Structure 1
Amino acid sequence: MVATPPVVEATGVTKRYGSTVALHEAAISIDQGQTHALVGRNGAGKSTLVNVLTGLQAPDEGTVTFAGEPAPRLTDRDAWRQRVACVYQKSTIIPELTVAENLFLNRHDHGRSGLISWKTVRRKARELLDTWSVDVDVRLPAGDLDVEQRQFVEIARALSFGARFIVLDEPTALLDAAAITRLFGRIRDLQQQGVTFLFISHHLEEIYEICDVVTVFRDARHVLTTAVGALPRAELVAAMTGEAAAETAGARRVPDVAAAPVLEMTGVSLAGAYEDVSLRVRAGEIVGLAGAASSGRIAIAETVAGLRAATGGVVEIAGSLSQPGSVPAALRAGVGFVPQDRHHQGYVAQMSVADNGTLTIPDRLGRAGFIDGRRRDGLARAMIGKLAIKTPGPELPVSGLSGGNQQKVVMARALANDPKLLVLINPTAGVDVRSKEFLLGKVGEIAESGAGVLVASDELDDLRRCDRVLVVFQGRVVAEMPRGWHDHQLVAAMEGVDLDG
């Protein structure tokens, strides 16, 4: 009996972006009818592999086959659509068009007059959705659909091209529990009809509920592939994290438990993001918020910084009530902030190092709204020295700096107003190792000087500097871990895994 070739197989795939190796001799093999999980920490290579498997990028080395046949040329998009489709966390449905128009975009039937027959398009759309048991009115604007309905429409659209291999990228991130249950039911139904899925999720409990096989990537490499039922949860987490790094990074004095709180959140909620969050950060203390990207940790930090207005609860900064959704009020209260995305939120690329570093302190630069260039540049030079920013001078545009030095400028701006509370989101993302160590060391110095620090991150190196870490999962604080935690313990909590299960 001849064995059926895998639906898709990648072998020896290497992909580089400059000096960065995104995939190194990676491999995956997915059999007909499986729901196959792909897991790994941020930077493991999952997104790059999906780009290769869906024909968005060509590997530098290695091969990809579908049912034993070589992958099509990248330019042959129709051939790729017949083999594979990806349903992303962020919908690709065009909200202004109807469901029917989205399903057959650029594939409309034309009548004898050469004009589009909308009656035929709607009929074919209804037939398509009926075939795959999707209960949606094809006449509705796609923007009126909820997240769950959009996902089902995207799956049906992919199947209409002939693809029977679907990549689901974080499909549950925006769904509630009931919608997740319905999605999993639909996946099982489609599996029985011969559809194969690659399922990517940060929630490892979902892997055990819906997937047959799991592949783990770590540091751009394939680590293991095995049946889900044969892999204990603790071993899966260990495969994702590898050898545990040092439990702590550098000794720090124990914060004074009697120190006054610089941040108190009591029963704070933000609709659709997090619910009933209570936490405290004392002067001199570094507190981490750990969790996956969709956990709510980022929204909590942005609420403290004034970017979001909570829908319930109380936020106090340095003993005073915080004004909801006001960045200027947060600055006046003594908050320094390093945002998630330095490129879009952290600096103005064509403005100078001096201008970017002093954006939060215009009142110190001159009188009556006028900027004293000498005073500004003097403050900037002090920042450059304090944070070891490599620049020929304060007048250089930030766009001319390396990523690590750009992040130092963002940190300089956050520290310019001598904050009582420093809020950091993914503070070392996209910087080199040396800059990462420098920035994290600076965070420790800031806490030693008496400021409180709130660090929202899923990077273990960032969190090791914390005196304690609060774990956020699906919008709620579910655990608190004191300094000295082990990698597998924290990662398991972040992914919602019970290691004793």
Structure 2
Amino acid sequence: MPEPTPLLLMRGIVKQFPGVRALDGVDLDVRAGEVHCLLGQNGAGKSTLIKVLSGAHQPDAGEVLLNGAPVRLANPTAAMRAGIATIYQELDLVDGLSVAENIFLGHEHATFGFTRRGEANRAARELLARLGHAEIRPGTEVGRLSPAAKQVVSMARALSHDARLIIMDEPSAALAHDEVTNLFRIIRELIAQNVAVVYISHRLEEIREIGERVTVLKDGRTVAVGLPARDTPTPRIVSLMTGRNVEYVFPPRPDPVDRPQVLRVEGLTLSGRFADISFTVGAGEIVGLAGLVGSGRSEIIETIYGARRPSAGRVLLDGRLVRPGSTHAAVRQGMGLAPEERKAQALLLEESVARNITLSALTRYARLGWLDRRAETAEVNRLIETLDIRPRDPRRPIKTLSGGNQQKAVLARWLTERAAAGNGAGGLKLLLLDEPTRGVDVGARAELYAVVRRLADSGIGVLLVSSEVPEVLGLADRVLVIREGRLVHEAPADELDEHRVLDLVMVTHEGGTP
């Protein structure tokens, strides 16, 4: 029996930018009513392919067919009219508008320029009910919604265009575990209605759970098309993505040694978030915080750093009290933070790699009010080489770098702070990492792990938060398990496994597991 005509067929897609061939003959076919997963490292060409499919870029060669008929997606509006909708990782919703206004933005229910608000609200309610979220009110301002609810609104917007194909770019990146479960429920309902989904994620376990087939890109080329998502071994997928076998992602853990204490946390409490947290971090030690999203892990790190003022307790760095609620005091004493939302909280996206790296230490390069650009460039080039930031062009806008290389630039910033200290403080002593590999692909993760281990080997203490238990267990020397704002267990990482940690974080108040 012949295969049915694919809903979408892309053949030989080429896209050239000045000096870069981003897509070099990419193929993709997607069937109606399936979840087709698109995998590849950062820089493999996924984002460019999405933009071609969404009408944001025009291909230089190749063809796109919908239901067997060639189409030209001249712009995003043309793609929408063809039934192709894209939900980006950073949602393009307008916080100041209502749910209904966001759903129908650009194709409003209007007569003679006047919006038919009641009709729009009724249509929005129908779409939200179709997605199983009738509790979201059409009149609610989108800025007041949770990340998961915003994701639902984006899906409703896609369905408002009668989308036959929905592209989802890292849709689970900002969602808690139960919210991801609900996302998968919605996706399954969509495919039951014969809607196709192109699903992009760095989390391979999600691919197995939700995907039907997989296409893998590497260096702008298709290296595998239509692999069975559940039956293709993980080493095979990783090998296709990276071009090499990645058996040992984490760097070797050094033998346990007595380390001088760099951080001491005593009875730290933030009302309503966490209570009575006490632990230490040694110089050159990586300590991981494991727990569910919402357990208080990020809030603990932010309070240590001074971004939140504790209700009780104290933080000592190298035996000296850190002034509570003062990030300036924390940095001055030798503390650095790489926050979870690097684009929103850590980077100046329009600025160069060099400026982002030296941002916290510009006074080091100042001479009589003038910036010594030669000294700044020399230091930046040294750090780019040390951390292998690619491409190695300090003048390049940092927004053009992959997620992994952007994260390396954030780490490099704190190394300039360390070099700039040049006083009795001794520079960076403690590095706080909140979800350091969020949105970073398999190959780049391995590089980041190696960088973090090298920093620890140089004597810097590291406190790490990650939602991925294997990451905490593989990278940390010691693990602290946090549940509902309490420290419930502490052990060397090699004495724990994923099942044990999950048992600890999932225990209910009555002592059982859900």
Question: What is the TM-score when the length of structure 2 is the normalising length?
Answer: 0.66
Aligned partner letter, 1:412: T
SS state at 1:198 partner: strand
1:396 alignment counterpart: none
2:388 alignment counterpart: none
Q: Give the CA deviation at 1:161.
A: 1.4
Asked whether 1:412 is paired with 2:407, we answer no
Q: Give the CA deviation at 1:102.
A: 2.3
* Uncovered stretches (5+) of structure 2, i.e. residues with no partner: 385-392, 399-404, 441-446, 502-514
1:180 alignment counterpart: 180
Identity of aligned residues (%): 32
| 8 Å Cα contact 1:269/1:311 also seen in 2 | yes
1:120 alignment counterpart: 119
| 8 Å Cα contact 1:414/1:422 also seen in 2 | no
| 8 Å Cα contact 1:166/1:197 also seen in 2 | yes
Q: Give the CA deviation at 1:389.
A: 8.4
Aligned partner letter, 1:44: A
1:362-441 aligned at under 5 Å gives the runs 373=368, 381=375, 384=378, 388=382, 401=395, 411-417=415-421, 418-421=426-429, 423=431
2:389 alignment counterpart: none
Take 1:277 and 1:16, find their aligned partners in 2: how far apart are those partners?
A: 53
Take 1:23 and 1:300, find their aligned partners in 2: how far apart are those partners?
A: 43
Aligned partner letter, 2:229: V
Q: Give the CA deviation at 1:181.
A: 2.6
SS state at 1:36 partner: strand
1:139 alignment counterpart: 139
2:509 alignment counterpart: none
Aligned partner letter, 2:138: V
Aligned partner letter, 1:35: V
1:62-461 aligned at under 5 Å gives the runs 62-75=62-75, 77-111=77-111, 115-130=114-129, 133-135=132-134, 136-224=136-224, 225-244=226-245, 257-263=257-263, 281-284=281-284, 306=306, 315-324=315-324, 326-335=326-335, 345=346, 360=361, 373=368, 381=375, 384=378, 388=382, 401=395, 411-417=415-421, 418-421=426-429, 423=431, 450-452=459-461
Take 1:169 and 1:304, find their aligned partners in 2: how far apart are those partners?
A: 33
Take 1:162 and 1:347, find their aligned partners in 2: how far apart are those partners?
A: 37
Measured against aligned partners, the alpha-carbon deviations of 1:96-138 in whole angstroms (never above 9, x if no partner) come to 2222222222333444x66333233333334444555541332
Q: Give the CA deviation at 1:360.
A: 4.3
Cα distance change on mapping 1:311 and 1:228 into 2, 3 Å: farther
- Which stretch shifts more, 8-17 or 192-201? 8-17
* Uncovered stretches (5+) of structure 1, i.e. residues with no partner: 366-370, 391-398, 431-436, 483-488, 494-501
Cα distance change on mapping 1:415 and 1:88 into 2, 3 Å: same
| 8 Å Cα contact 1:66/1:83 also seen in 2 | no
Take 1:287 and 1:200, find their aligned partners in 2: how far apart are those partners?
A: 31
Measured against aligned partners, the alpha-carbon deviations of 1:54-89 in whole angstroms (never above 9, x if no partner) come to 122223333322222223242371443432112233
SS state at 1:416 partner: helix
Take 1:98 and 1:186, find their aligned partners in 2: how far apart are those partners?
A: 22
| 8 Å Cα contact 2:481/2:490 also seen in 1 | yes
Q: Give the CA deviation at 1:6.
A: 1.1
Aligned partner letter, 2:429: L
| 8 Å Cα contact 2:429/2:459 also seen in 1 | no
Asked whether 1:18 is paired with 2:18, we answer yes
Q: Give the CA deviation at 1:296.
A: 11
Measured against aligned partners, the alpha-carbon deviations of 1:327-347 in whole angstroms (never above 9, x if no partner) come to 311123223567886998468
Take 2:266 and 2:432, find their aligned partners in 1: how far apart are those partners?
A: 20
Q: Give the CA deviation at 1:318.
A: 1.9
| 8 Å Cα contact 2:79/2:85 also seen in 1 | no
SS state at 1:58 partner: coil
Measured against aligned partners, the alpha-carbon deviations of 1:450-498 in whole angstroms (never above 9, x if no partner) come to 554678999xxxx9xx89698999999999878xxxxxx99xx9xxxxx
| 8 Å Cα contact 1:287/1:470 also seen in 2 | yes
1:39 alignment counterpart: 39
Take 1:115 and 1:195, find their aligned partners in 2: how far apart are those partners?
A: 32
How many residue pairs get aligned? The number is 453
Aligned partner letter, 1:23: L
Measured against aligned partners, the alpha-carbon deviations of 1:38-58 in whole angstroms (never above 9, x if no partner) come to 233333332222222212222
Take 1:148 and 1:297, find their aligned partners in 2: how far apart are those partners?
A: 20
| 8 Å Cα contact 1:289/1:456 also seen in 2 | yes
Take 1:19 and 1:457, find their aligned partners in 2: how far apart are those partners?
A: 36
SS state at 1:202 partner: coil
Q: Give the CA deviation at 1:36.
A: 1.5
| 8 Å Cα contact 1:336/1:414 also seen in 2 | no
Take 2:55 and 2:110, find their aligned partners in 1: how far apart are those partners?
A: 30
